[in-house]
Amino acid sequence: MMVLSLITSVLFMCFQMPDNRRHHESCVLVKHTFADPDDSLEIINLVECQSPNGLTNWFSSDIKKSVCTSKQCKMLNVRLFWDGVGNYHHLELIDNEPLTKTDHTEFNADDYDKLNSILSDSLSVFRDLQMEDLVIEKRSDVDGVSGATSKSLTDYVVRDAVYTCYTLWHTVYGTSKNNIHALLKQRVDKDYLRKLFDRNDPVTDIWALNTMISNPEYAVPFFDKLIVKIASGNDITSSLALRAISPQNLNSEALQKKLADQISKADDLKKLDIIWKLNDCPVVYDAVIMQLLHDYQKGIITPAALHYVYKMISGKNMLNPDIAKKLQEFRTDKNRYIRDITDKLLITTEAKNQR
């Protein structure tokens, strides 16, 4: 892929946010030019708004495409925007040239809202459809000039504009988005990820965390930040932060204890997730095992969660007198399930030691 980047020192003052507030910022506009893989005679221009610290505020691309039905073609003339990590943001009309339908009527405000909702859906049904799947041709001209829109799509698309919706969705999630991801991938390093986290923005957090999941080596310097995000109230970033921590990187008692400390702040499902993560560690330290056993006694974790704690207890852990003593206490626990799984653990361990 051939890329030509031209930097233009231009200040861009605002762009439309989803809540209709104006977001004012200064940035340097950088123009990226790519070859179009679908047409060797065409190029794709991306404009990037870079903040002074090198992070991207947004990308945009002017789209001029023909949308053809079975009997006629019309031109789309819009500017698409993606946020700084490549998620669709919004579209603007170039020269206030409205979008039109197959019957030549212009989009109204509700139509634009619906189109924006469609373009925001990365898992749209359009993902698996071909152009010929969009309409059912009939002898009578039911849907403008193109036939009847497939019934499965009627409520989903803008009425009489299924081709426009389809074309724009594939433009949003096609080559331009791939080019954005390629640009960002080239920039990823520890400093870039640190700047993303410093934004304290859930959207950029998700992108940074997914990058760490794919590249575990990047997560190591951010362990404390990941711990903070695990304890956050955002379920998505919390789950991704936990996934970004590799069990192989939990290689010290201090790191394992920091993770175990989050159990008391988490809901029951997240507590299990943390215990499973510790369970995947090659070695779980005695102090961490004791902490988890105490968590059960304090009512912080459930009997079901204690069952998974038992799975991480090794023969070496059992040699610790404090752990051995605590397990003996659990043999007389008021909960019969706990008594049973404790007996089973002790019997199994003793049998292994006799081999």
Task: Tell me the mean pLDDT in the region 275-300.
Answer: 97
DSSP per-residue codes, 123-173: T-GGGG--GGGSEE--SS--STTS-EEPHHHHTTSPTT-HHHHHHHHHHHT
pLDDT at 136: 57
For all residues of the chain together, what is the average pLDDT?
A: 86
Find out whether 128 and 117 touch, Cβ atoms under 8 Å.
Answer: no
Q: Please tell me the least confidently modeled range out of 6-15, 221-230, 255-264.
A: 6-15
pLDDT at 236: 94
pLDDT at 230: 92
Q: Which of 46, 66, 65 has the alpha carbon at shortest distance from 56? A: 46
Rounded (to 5) percent helix, strand, coil in the chain: 50, 20, 30
Is the predicted pLDDT of residue 2 greater than 70, yes or no?
no
Task: Tell me the mean pLDDT in the region 277-284.
Answer: 95
Find out whether 205 and 229 touch, Cβ atoms under 8 Å.
Answer: yes
pLDDT at 138: 52
Helix (H, G, I), strand (E, B) or coil at 344: helix
Task: Tell me the mean pLDDT in the region 297-311.
Answer: 97
Close Cβ partners of 158 (under 8 Å, ≥ 6 residues apart): 101, 107, 111, 114, 115, 118, 164, 165
Task: Tell me the mean pLDDT in the region 268-290.
Answer: 96
Confidence bin at 342 (pLDDT 50/70/90): very high
Is the predicted pLDDT of residue 336 greater than 90, yes or no?
yes
Residue type, 24: H
pLDDT at 244: 96
Task: Tell me the mean pLDDT in the region 190-218.
Answer: 94
**What angle, rounded to 10 degrees, do the helices at 202-214 and 190-198 form?**
150
Joined tokens for residue 212: 């760490």
Q: ∠ CA 221-58-180 to the nearest 5 degrees?
A: 70
46 vs 59: CA distance, rounded Å? 7
- What are φ and ψ of residue 176, in 5° steps? -60, -45
Is the predicted pLDDT of residue 300 greater than 90, yes or no?
yes
Q: Which residue has the higher pLDDT, 350 or 86?
A: 86
Q: Which residue has the higher pLDDT, 3 or 174?
A: 174
Q: Please tell me the least confidently modeled range out of 100-114, 132-146, 331-345.
A: 132-146
Is the predicted pLDDT of residue 10 greater than 60, yes or no?
no
pLDDT at 16: 36
190 vs 201: CA distance, rounded Å? 17
Confidence bin at 149 (pLDDT 50/70/90): low
pLDDT at 19: 37
Q: Please tell me the least confidently modeled range out of 7-11, 59-63, 157-161, 278-282.
A: 7-11
pLDDT at 6: 39
Tell me the per-residue pLDDT of 12-69, one tens digit each, with 9 for 90 and over. Answer: 333 333 333 334 457 899 999 998 887 777 788 999 999 999 999 999 999 988 887 6
pLDDT at 145: 38
Is the predicted pLDDT of residue 354 greater than 90, yes or no?
no
Burial (CB count <10 Å: 0-12, 13-18, 19+), residue 174: middle
Close Cβ partners of 275 (under 8 Å, ≥ 6 residues apart): 263, 292, 301, 305, 308, 309, 312
Q: Which of 274, 239, 240 has the alpha carbon at shortest distance from 257? A: 274
274 vs 262: CA distance, rounded Å? 8
Joined tokens for residue 146: 């193109």
pLDDT at 234: 87
> Rounded to two decimals, what is the model's pTM?
0.80
